[in-house]
Amino acid sequence: MQHDSGTGTPALVARRADAKPVETEEIRALAAAAGYEVVGAVTQVRPEDPGTYLGAGKVDELADRAAETGAHRVVVDDQLSPGQSKQLGDALPSGTGVYDRYRLVLEIFGEQASTRRAQLQVELARLKYQLPRIREESDEGMLNRRTEKGTRLYDVRDRIDELESKLDDLPEPAEQYRERRREQGFDLVTLAGYTNAGKSTLLHRLADDLDLAAEPDHPDRDATAAVEDRLFKTLETTTRRATLAERPALVTDTVGFVDDLPHWLVESFSATLSEAAAADAVVLVADASDPVEELREKLSVSLDVLDAQDVERERVVTALNKVDLLDDDERERRLAVAAELAPAPVPVSVTEGTNVERLVAAVRERLPTERAELTMPNCDDAMGVVSWAYDHATVEGVDYGGETVSLAVQGRPDVVERSRAKAEAVDEGVGERR
């Protein structure tokens, strides 16, 4: 499958539904994310036509609109069979190509893939998209030869096996990285949710080294976590250091969810979702300005995705973002809907900073915590333990009481245990020297 950039290309979007209303907002946003200039939309209310998908009359209308607008691409908001793609393409003006929803998403993924793993994942997803098309395009008279070595179908299957093997063999530095950061006292927090809900903006709001209001041109605003109203701006995970209610944390932004993607496509990018499974807390960011039923559906799907990653509901904090766009009644209605699915949702406006401290407090409550009162002889080694505790945990108080030092420390259970072990080692060391 040839990969064509949509940058600046005029495109029409087309959507069919069994009943009204026929919404085109999301497919327009997806097309814009791929770089297309959307010049119009054609909608149809009818059962799917097995040949042309839209039906002959609507296809004629689509062809006329393409000629009038100069559209070089028609993007259909559904999965098309190879036969439907061909019949639609044959009916359109010369030079006007047809993409279905899945191929469009693959184009966006391809534009955003920058790491070796992401590039392999994109190629794998493209080949899985191609596979049924190659089967359908194969001549029935050649049925017995389609899987012979050297045929296109054989080569694609062979390459799929090769890519899956390469992905399995890639090192998993993320797991080692996570454990090392935990040992250093960092809590791990993951941001999850649909595209355009405001996850990347929240990452910038929380990050220690970025001030969303004061430093809009901060050099750390890289392409993988830019604050833009653009889908899939985050394909690979992006992590920033943050301090959450005095707890050092690493906050990771993940790829956004999108409706109606096939299992094999989601599976190809499952690595980014593993960040949620490994996190101490997950912030599920939802767009409160969505229509109520759409909000309900997106929250339900998001929670199902997290459930599939073995993320316990107790670890999830739901942030209803963009409440600044709602009046009081609308805000309360959406909070009630969210509360049916997720306990204690937090209404926030990330861009304005509304209730962000409340959100941080809710995250803080989910983090694993232990507290200890430690007593050591007052010596140089004890000062080293105090310094270490300040670097890796929250020091609630230090009392230098003459011959002893009392240290109240709070943090991750493993960090508190290490603080306790260090204090005991100081005590034992002094005892041995006496």
Q: What local confidence, expressed as pLDDT, does residue 375 receive?
A: 95
Helices (H), 170-255: 173-183, 199-206
Domain total of the chain: 4
Residue 1 lies inside a defined structural domain of this protein: no
Q: What local confidence, expressed as pLDDT, does residue 236 receive?
A: 62
Provide the residue range defining the domain that includes 209.
185-366
- 323 and 428 co-located in one domain: no
Residues in CB range of 414: below 8 A, 6 or more apart: 182, 183
CATH number of 17's domain: 3.40.50.11060
Residue 423 lies inside a defined structural domain of this protein: yes
- 53 and 124 co-located in one domain: no
Residue 2 lies inside a defined structural domain of this protein: no
Q: What local confidence, expressed as pLDDT, does residue 177 receive?
A: 67
- The rounded distance, in Å, linking the Cα atoms of 349 and 324 is 6
Q: What local confidence, expressed as pLDDT, does residue 136 receive?
A: 76
In the structure encoding, which two tokens stand for residue 117, read together? Answer: 């793993």
- 349 and 375 co-located in one domain: no
- 361 and 375 co-located in one domain: no
Q: What local confidence, expressed as pLDDT, does residue 431 receive?
A: 62
Q: Which of 341, 366, 391 is the last residue of a domain?
A: 366
Q: What local confidence, expressed as pLDDT, does residue 34 receive?
A: 87
Residue 180 lies inside a defined structural domain of this protein: no
Task: Measure Cα distances from 334 to 215, 261, 326, 353, 357 in Å.
Answer: 32, 26, 10, 19, 20
pTM: 0.71
- 233 and 340 co-located in one domain: yes
Q: What is the DSSP string of 335-379?
A: HHHHHHHSSS-EE-BTTTTBTHHHHHHHHHHHS--EEEEEEEESS
Q: What local confidence, expressed as pLDDT, does residue 233 receive?
A: 47
- 395 and 410 co-located in one domain: yes
Residue 226 lies inside a defined structural domain of this protein: yes
Task: Measure Cα distances from 49 to 84, 97, 412 in Å.
Answer: 9, 19, 58
Q: What is the pLDDT along the chain (434 residues), one digit of tens a residue?
A: 444 556 789 999 999 999 888 989 889 988 988 899 999 999 999 999 999 999 999 999 999 999 999 999 999 999 999 899 999 999 999 999 999 998 998 888 887 777 788 788 889 989 998 888 888 776 544 544 555 677 888 899 999 999 999 988 887 656 666 777 777 778 999 999 987 899 989 999 999 754 434 334 433 333 334 444 344 544 567 889 999 988 889 998 887 777 777 666 666 556 666 777 889 999 999 999 999 999 999 999 889 888 888 899 999 999 999 999 999 999 999 999 999 998 889 999 999 999 999 999 999 999 999 999 999 999 999 999 999 999 888 899 999 988 999 999 999 899 999 999 999 999 887 766 65
The region, left, alpha or beta by phi > 0 then psi within -120 to 50, assigned to residue 193 is left
- 201 and 344 co-located in one domain: yes
- Say how far residue 215 (Cα) sits from the centre of its chain: 24
- The rounded distance, in Å, linking the Cα atoms of 57 and 195 is 34
- 120 and 69 co-located in one domain: no
Q: What local confidence, expressed as pLDDT, does residue 170 receive?
A: 80
- 99 and 61 co-located in one domain: yes
Among 178, 173, 171, which Cα is nearest to 279's? 178
- 283 and 195 co-located in one domain: yes
- 20 and 51 co-located in one domain: yes
Among 267, 262, 231, which Cα is nearest to 102's? 262
Instruction: Please return the burial class of 141, using the count of CB atoms within 10 Å of its CB with bins 0-12, 13-18 and 19+.
Output: exposed
Asked if residues 52 and 44 have their Cβ atoms less than 8 Å apart, the reply is: no
